[in-house]
Structure 1
Amino acid sequence: MSKRNMEEKRMKKFKFIHKRSLTAFVLSTAMVLGVTGCGKDGGVQGNGDKDGNTPEYVYVAEYLDVQGMDDVVNMKEADGTLHMLTVEYGESEMSYKLCTLNLEDSSTTETDLESAAGGYFTSTFFNADGSLEVIESKEDYDDDWNLLSRSLYFNKYSADGSLISSEDVMEKLQFEEDFYVSHFIRDAEGNYLIGSWDSPLMVYSQDLVKTGEIANANAQIDGLCITESGKIVASWWGNMGGVEVALVDVTGQKLGTTIETKKQSGSATVWAGSGDTILYMNGSELYSCDVVTGEIKVIMNTMDMDVNADYIQSIYPLSDGCYLMTCYDYSSDNSGMGMLIAKPVDPSTVAERIELTLATVYANQDVNDAVIEFNRNNDEYRIKVIDYATDDYDWNAAVTNLQNDIVAGNVPDMIDLSSLNMPWRNWAAKGILTDLYPLMEADGEFDKEELLQNVRTAYEEEGSLYILPSTIMIDGVMVKEKFVNGVSSLTPSVLMEMEKTLPADANLFYYNYQDEVMYNMVYENMNAYVDYEKGECYFNTDEFKAVLAYAKEQPAEFVYEEGVSLPGLLKEDKVLFYNINISQMPDYQFHKFVFGEDIAFLGYGGSDNDGIRIVTSGCALSITEQCEHKDVAWQFLKTFVSEEYQTREYLWGIPTTQTGLDNFIYEAQHMEDTHGYGWDDVNIDITSATDEEVDEFLAILEKADEVNYQDTAIMEIIEEEVAPYFEGQKSADEVADIIQSRVDIYLKENL
């Protein structure tokens, strides 16, 4: 083949097609961020206000056709051209391409990149002119996947994709053979910063001579990026749970002043913004942070343009004020990579629709997907998600804010009660939530009998159903049958009696320390101490004081022992009980194997049944009485109990409809492949479930007919008051009386 023909083969054309423009927005400034124009100051900025005035601009998503791309590794805009490094995954190898898109005339090119060693790119960096620098790893393994040898190559490519140079740099960079390059950036002076997730940043000259190291005293550096202005920024998870960033001083070989971002979810990844800014997602909101001034701004909420932030992999600001986003949808069989441009448009071009609000705390991915699907296919109504999640990741504060809004009369149309640690029983009793049974009857297409009987029993309140769960888990305790001795549920008194008969080298639970004892004997048994229907509590009792005394005898903290196998302890009768949530049939099969003999599945007592409970694993939605379009809201809720949803391959747990459960069992008994399960030193391949295993599983599921509701407010009261007792500062009588008084006041104020 001639050189010309080879070049023609490499320089293939591909198309970026604007497939559709999703311009469905409700012009509520409190919910949709407007922009004043396109600029280079960290993105287009919002100018709407809380009084509901119409914003000057809103964002819409224009999708690009990216067929043939499996992933976008890196990108850079240079002189009006977008340069992208993409990868396609084959059965045994990966192929890399350099793609360009002219932002002025939409012309495109695609060039196959020549691999220097036939390996894979561990880290890449685009220069300002669109040229590319790459660290390529080549590894050789034996038949058992033991590493035999490893080489690292430093490759340089021109902006047109030609390989300029390649050098084996493993020895030159002074790396150990198992060193993995995750950070790789070059500053304006030509210095290279190279690092791994578990190492300091190493500084090299442009000739790859090591000149020093930059360490973060607080945490390992998780990411690096370089701003448009050339400033290098390091990011990591801070000790308080949020992502922190700092400028990297290459000359002084140190980090600058730490900036606390508002990022509390996802990874610690940040992207280069315009000027001195960085970009990052926090939930569904896109933020910019000026790394010089520390100013933080919200740019947009991606849900407002019907884009699920869970799928966003990278964001790049374009010079015209738009944002290019790469996304990957893992949620279905049609999963794949996608690209879109978030573009500001005049609000007058957007059709106005009736808005229904959906309140949530840390939005569920499936809920966001369903909201987007609803909004894309409805010309008259639109659902707006209001996430009460707080910047400091305080769950209780978020629920309190939602509760305060409801008390103030700002009641949403729907509420996502996924945690069920919200005071939903109280809301139902006060007439805030709508009984869903009449909506089912009026629907005509969904019969309430389709819901599993135990699910209806668990979620009903006096014959009414206020919550519709999509999927569930079974919450209980596994124990060998020989230890049960007629016990049907684990009440505090039962646990205390069993403790007395244990051998000296055995424990009821593996995590046998003070907080865990309180969790198992009190928090899991809250029904023994609180009667929500009567509004009464029973903490100043001899039984509760006995639990306190037993808990005090245990270690204050769990002492981890190296090399100890929990499965081994269960099998050898050194630990009797194992708390478990079962979400799939293989969960049950595997843990039954771990115990090694016949098992019983028990629940925590304090109620009229065996105490085996339901934990909501997917979403749990309700409709409020204030909703003026309950029939529309029901159509949205019905999505989660539809045959399509309940029988799909990827679910967050056990289906809640009979159709879904039948399919769930069928799939469990007709597995095409084995599934490897491992826990410490136990590894097995799970195969199709037997009839016996199915019968055992269904018997447990049928008994799970109450919701595992843990009142976090009461738990916090107990945790706060028992601390002085454990430290010897107060007696059990004093602590029990204080808890009794405080919980009694709480119940009177909230029920």
Structure 2
Amino acid sequence: MKKKVARVLSMVLVSGMLFSIAACNSEKKSKVVKISEDDPYFTDKTVVLYQPESTSDQVSVTNMIDLGDKFAVMLDIYLSPDDGMMGGAITTYSTDGHVVMESEAILTDNFEEDLESTDMDIDDTDVAANEEGDGDEYIDDESEGELEGELEGELEGELEDEFIDMDEGIYDEGIYDEGYEDEYYDDWSQYQKQILIFFDYDGNKLSEIDMSDKLSDPDAYFMSMTKDGKGNLLLCFQKDEYTEFSYKSSILLKTIDTEGQSVGQDIAIELGEYESAYSVDTDGEGHLIVQKWGERGGMLGIYDESGKLLFDIKPEGEYADFGGIYPINGELYVLLYQSDSMGVYKVDFEAKKLGAEIDASNLIISTPIITDDGVFLNKASGIYTYDLDTGKEEQVMSWNDTDINVAEAVHSSVLPISKDKILISQSYYYGTMSYYGYGAVDTEEEIEPLTLTVLDRAAKNPHAGKTIMTLGGLDIGYDSALTEQILKFNKSDKEFRIEIADYVDRLDASLLMNDIEDSYEKALIDLNQKLYLDIANGDGPDLLYTPYNPANMDRYIAKGLLVDFYELAKDDDSFAKENFLPNILTAFEVDGKLYEMPISFVLSGWSGPERLIGSRTGWTFDEFNQFVDGLPSDTIVFANRTQKTMLSELLSASLGKFLDYEKSQATFSSEDFYSILELAKTLGSPISENEMYDEGNYVDEWELMSKGKLAMSSAYVYSPAAIVDQNSMFAEPVTFVGYPSESKQGLLCSSNGHFSIISTSSNQDGAWRFIKSMIDEDFQNSLAKQGYGIPVRASSFEKHIEEAVKQYEQMYSMYGDMGGYGMGNYELTDEDIELYREIVSNATVREQTDAQIMAIINEEAPAFFTGQKTAQDVAAIIDNRVKTILSERS
């Protein structure tokens, strides 16, 4: 008994000490850290890999391989017509942008697929082909309807399985040519090229080879490139053969030396029927490793050097697939995806199967780079070596020690040459597209080149003397708009330099290995807790950035950990609330104080036919229940909505009313929460999110909409395009309405990113200076143009609307009355713009979330949904568990 009392007393004493320490830490100021000349820094040299001339060009870097004294880069280049649409001329360029050849476009061999990909409709086709012409003549208006009818009849009747018999030619935009196949393949290089470029380690181009000249079979297309284990490069091509009832592929392997000269004989590998390949690698032990896909999922083909099949490895489970091949130190490891898990396995060549799973979860969540020197990981914070045996990581360099865009580096192809030299290649160029939902090419946007950057460790850090200001959060190293602004700030500010602390790199990867549906949520909870504890203990960043993954800030506010922006800016003449959308800033206020500064936002709620919902913007729970009870008997309220999703949506508007962070109290035992549980149970499906899309469970929403039998759908409003989309999907005028609430609020406001300044930071002035650069006219106008959500600055909001209208008009001029994606075709009208303004102005409440508490609710609510417990019993359990969590946090 005495021992038990002593143990309890010691726990109380320790708890008191921890509370005192936390309280003291919340008052202390963070240490000021300055950069010294000896701190690491990498210079950067950037060279052009490829300069697109057209906004429709598509270029990707498929491989970057170290060859010992130089390195090779393979570019996969697709040159589409100059106007970005079907037809027109095709221009071929060298990698530096000089015109090589121009030719007439030969259009694709799958007419219906092209119609789908361009949102075209047979009824909207203005021009049809002249069957007896040579492809350059067009029929007159009188015959157009007749020929269109014939064409439509062919597509619906004679041409089964949605393809045109290649022996009968092709109709497309006035072109008909029975011999198009020969012309198409003769000009294949005008559509797609593979350019192999050799560089020295300083980024100087040594040579360039058009690999199209190396390929004798015009039907084959490039797949991948790897080293053959003998100092040469192995180029992998695939050829597909289709018949009416079968499909078969073959692989062609071509070896070249480091000067680009052919070595030995080409190797042909015939795959089985209905098998295709998507990568070929070598293990350094004389084996060719082919990732294949068959009728029952992924498989691994092990071949000898001559291309002879030794054996296939077919993992257990239907539709399992391989996600990566890792030849490391003479052994072969593979990443395997299965229906409910993923893992890394060693290949057992003797047993001809996969061995036991190994603990290599970090290989899965990071981008592995396999070189002769070992395994490297490209993470948000930099480049790391990775020991497969111990799972230990060691940082080679930090992106903070460079003056390059961190987000671009993380998404780039990276090749570590040594700890002092890193090569970075942008991975792709897909044209300058608009982001307003229309897929239009932004013809005014400058065409940037695809580049290669050489990083070299410098003897001295040029930023010595500047104060380090840390920006913390989750996934912030992947936000290109943010990291570009950080780069600009770091170059211009004379006093401060921002460094990123992306907590996503501290992820416990084991949380993601199983229980796929909830694993990501659990991982986010774990990371947010680590970030909160660091800040509460005085060891966190100066600024906190919350991107699209929302974190609950109420607990920070309750503990006095955040700065009030209004107080900070009260003497700053450059900041005035009236320059912003007032209702949006108000939505983020707490008791008249602003602890979170939103940069941009989107709105969420529900939408449905105006004839059913009326002209309302919000409703109470009683009004919503009356609406549901009054629907026609053949009308479904929601389709494909789980009970979990329904519960989450309903609580996103009202979670805060059940929580008191300051007092660590929870009040879910209330009639309001019982009503929410009942609604979620009634309107949602009891199956899981994964099961929802299984055959027999999924309901065709499009069909329901087309028949006017779907009452509600989720609505995400990010620009005026959302109005057109919803009207088009329902094929009738639509009402946008908020989730049920006591205040009958409109759509919820969710930030695309918001900042907070930590109250213990010694760099608050510098932090505010940076945040102001994110809400000034220049940056907010760039958001308006790029489409990264809705800007918070009032003048930029107007530009955002102007840009959306301009992009829509461009699409309308290209494709006609095709603004929407559904059954109806709707223009973007003045009435739509006015409705959009009203929807935005009616948003007065921000999304309320707390991932850890929602996890508890989602664990306990199914007991009510299945009838095992009453709503009162479930709410009482939730209250107790949430109170414990809130007490632990404090």
Q: Which residue of 2 aligns with 1:361?
A: 474
CA drift of 1:716 comes to 2.9
1:700-723 Cα offsets, whole Å, 9 max, x none, are 111012211123343233223334
Q: Distance in 1 between matches of 2:311 and 2:385?
A: 31
2:236 pairs with 1:135: yes
SS in 1 for 2:412: strand
C-alpha contact (below 8 Å) 2:620/2:744 kept by paired residues: no
Matched, 1:100 2:184: no
Q: 2:834 is matched with which residue: 692, 695, 704?
A: 695
Amino acid at match of 1:465: L
Measure the CA separation in 2 of the matches of 1:396 and 1:493: 34
Write 1 or 2 for the structure with the bigger share of helix: 2
Question: What's the secondary structure of 2:860's corresponding residue?
Answer: helix
Give 2:811's aligned amino acid: D
Q: Which residue of 2 aligns with 1:3?
A: none
Confirm whether residue 271 of structure 1 aligns to residue 349 of structure 2: no
Task: Name the structure 2 match of 1:184.
Answer: 280
Give CA deviations for 1:176-225 in whole Å, capped at 9, x if unaligned: 47x54322013434332112365211122222222211234474111224
Letter of the aligned partner of 2:42 in structure 1? V
Q: Which residue of 1 aligns with 2:687?
A: 557
State the shift of 1:696 in Å.
1.0
Question: Would you say the 8 A contact 1:122–1:180 is kept in 2?
Answer: no
Conserved in 2, the CA contact under 8 Å of 1:248 and 1:254?
yes
1:749/1:500 Cα in 2 relative to 1: closer, same or farther (>3 Å)?
Answer: farther
Are 1:62 and 2:62 matched, yes or no?
A: no
> Structure 2: how far apart are the matches of 1:235 and 1:322?
29
1:75 to 24, 47, 64: 64
CA deviations over 1:78-115 (Å, ceiling 9, x no partner): 34232333444434433333333344996823333324
Distance in structure 2 (CA, Å) of the matches to 1:621 and 1:480: 37
Return the offset for 1:504: 4.9
Please say if residues 730 and 824 of structure 2, whose CA atoms lie closer than 8 Å, have aligned partners that are also in contact: no
Q: Equivalent of 2:756, from 589, 612, 622?
A: 622
CA contact (8 A) 1:155 1:167 kept: yes
Distance of aligned partners of 1:221 and 1:482 in 2 relative to their CA distance in 1, 3 Å threshold: same
Larger CA deviation: 399-408 vs 735-744: 735-744
1:368 alignment partner AA: T
Q: Does the Cα contact within 8 Å between 1:328 and 1:335 map onto a contact in 2?
A: no
Distance 1:410 1:514, change over 3 A: same
Equivalent position amino acid for 1:65 in 2: V
Counterpart CA distance in 2 for 1:299 and 1:611 is 50
Matches within 5 A, 1:658-737: 658-671=794-807, 672-674=810-812, 682=822, 689-737=828-876
Instruction: Tell me the distance in 2 between the aligned counterparts of 1:651 and 1:260.
Output: 41
When normalised by structure 1's length, the TM-score is 0.80
Contact 2:35/2:467 (<8 A) preserved: no
Say which SS state the counterpart of residue 237 (structure 2) adopts: strand
| Contact 1:328 1:336 survives alignment (8 Å) | no
Q: Distance in 1 between matches of 2:889 and 2:289?
A: 56
Range 106-115 or range 582-591, more displaced: 106-115
How far the C-alpha of 1:538 sits from its partner, in A, is 4.7
Identity of aligned residues (%): 23
SS of match in other structure, 1:608: coil
Indicate the RMSD between aligned Cα atoms, in angstroms: 4.0
Instruction: Call closer, same or farther: CA 1:703–1:487 in 2, change over 3 Å.
Output: closer
* Of 506-515 and 551-560, the range deviating more from structure 2: 551-560
Deviation for aligned residue 1:578: 1.2
Paired with 1:443 and 1:271, the residues of 2 have a C-alpha distance of 48
Correspondent of 2:775 among 636, 641, 650: 641
Q: Aligned pair in 2 of structure 1 residues 245, 680: CA closer, same or farther (>3 Å)? A: farther
Instruction: Tell me what 1:245 maps to.
Output: 344
CA contact (8 A) 1:61 1:305 kept: yes
Q: Which residue of 1 aligns with 2:385?
A: 288
After TM superposition, list the pairs within 5 Å mapping 1:450-465 onto structure 2: 450-465=579-594
Whether 1:590 aligns to 2:729 is no
Structure 2 runs not aligned, ≥5 long: 1-32, 52-58, 81-189, 433-444, 510-519
Residue by residue, what CA displacement relative to the aligned partner does 1:23-70 show, whole Å, maximum 9, x if unpaired?
A: xxxxxxxxxxxxxxxxxxxxxxxxxxxx99999873514323134375
Equivalent residues, number = 689
SS of alignment partner, residue 183 of structure 1: strand
Q: Which moved more, 1:708-717 or 1:450-459?
A: 708-717
Following superposition of structure 1 onto structure 2, how do residues 84-483 of structure 1 map, counting pairs within 5 Å?
84-91=73-80, 92-103=190-201, 108-113=206-211, 114-116=213-215, 117-118=217-218, 120-128=221-229, 130-137=231-238, 152-164=251-263, 169=268, 172-176=269-273, 179-196=275-292, 198-217=297-316, 219-227=320-328, 229-236=329-336, 244-250=343-349, 252-263=351-362, 269-275=367-373, 277-292=374-389, 294-307=391-404, 308-311=406-409, 312-318=411-417, 322-328=421-427, 333=446, 335-346=448-459, 351-363=464-476, 364-365=478-479, 366-389=481-504, 390-392=507-509, 394-419=523-548, 421-428=550-557, 430-437=559-566, 440=569, 442-483=571-612
- Structure 1 counterpart of 2:131: none
Distance 1:423 1:549, change over 3 A: closer
1:614 to partner: Cα distance? 0.6
The one-letter code sitting in structure 1 at the alignment partner of 2:492 is N
Structure-1 separation of matches of 2:482 and 2:419: 33
Q: 1:738 to 1:387 in 2, by over 3 A?
A: same
Q: Distance in 2 between matches of 1:294 and 1:259?
A: 10
- Using the TM superposition, give the Cα deviation of residue 166 of structure 1 relative to its aligned residue in structure 2, in angstroms: 7.1
Contact kept? 2:301, 2:311, Cα under 8 Å = yes
SS of 2:738 mapped into structure 1 = strand
Aligned to 2:714: 579
Shift of 1:327: 2.5
Contact residue 285 and residue 298 of structure 1 kept, 8 A: yes
Q: Distance in 1 between matches of 2:792 and 2:821?
A: 34
- Structure 1 residues 303 and 220: alpha-carbon distance in aligned structure 2, compared to 1, 3 A threshold: farther
Deviation at 1:567, TM superposition (A): 2.6
What runs of 5+ residues in structure 1 fail to find an aligned partner? 1-50
Query: Whole-Å Cα distance in 1 between the matches of residues 714 and 803 of structure 2?
Result: 26
- Change in 2 beyond 3 A, CA 1:539/1:321: closer
